[in-house]
């Protein structure tokens, strides 16, 4: 494995793994106040496209990394949407 290959694998591992502590924190606290709905909407859509790109290229590394990130980002986005909808309903009632 060349040094650029090694750097690439380390980069992919870090950016993929990074969403795990965020997903755990969000699942535990259910606090999404400081999380941007715009960010998680764009990011989740982007990761889905990266996954499709990996499938087109038949590249296992791109497929695996983005499948994991898609699950983690979807968990965070779902809780953010749930909280946003609930908050908007509550403010309409009161």
CB of 44 to its own copies, least distance (A): 8
Structure tokens at 25: 């924190």
Neighbouring CB atoms inside 10 A of 61's CB total: 12
Helix (H, G, I), strand (E, B) or coil at 36: coil
By beta-carbon proximity to its own copies, the closer residue of 59 and 89 is 59
By beta-carbon proximity to its own copies, the closer residue of 1 and 93 is 1
CB of 91 to its own copies, least distance (A): 18
CB of 20 to its own copies, least distance (A): 8
User: How big is the CA angle at 29 (ends 22 and 18), to the nearest 5 degrees?
Assistant: 5
Dist CA 87 CA 16 (whole Å): 30
Residues that bind its own copies (CB under 8 A): 3-4, 7-8, 10-22, 24-26, 29, 31-43, 45-47, 49-50, 52-53, 56-57
């Amino acid at each position: 494995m060349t040094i650029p290959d090694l750097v690439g694998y380390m980069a992919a591992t870090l950016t993929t793994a990074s969403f795990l502590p965020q997903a755990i924190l969000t699942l535990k606290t259910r606090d999404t106040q400081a999380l941007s709905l715009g960010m998680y909407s764009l990011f989740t859509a982007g990761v889905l496209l990266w996954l499709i790109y990996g499938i087109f290229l038949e590249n296992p590394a791109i497929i695996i990394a983005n499948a994991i990130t898609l699950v983690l980002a979807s968990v965070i986005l779902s809780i953010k949407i749930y909280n946003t909808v609930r908050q908007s309903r509550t403010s309409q009632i009161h």
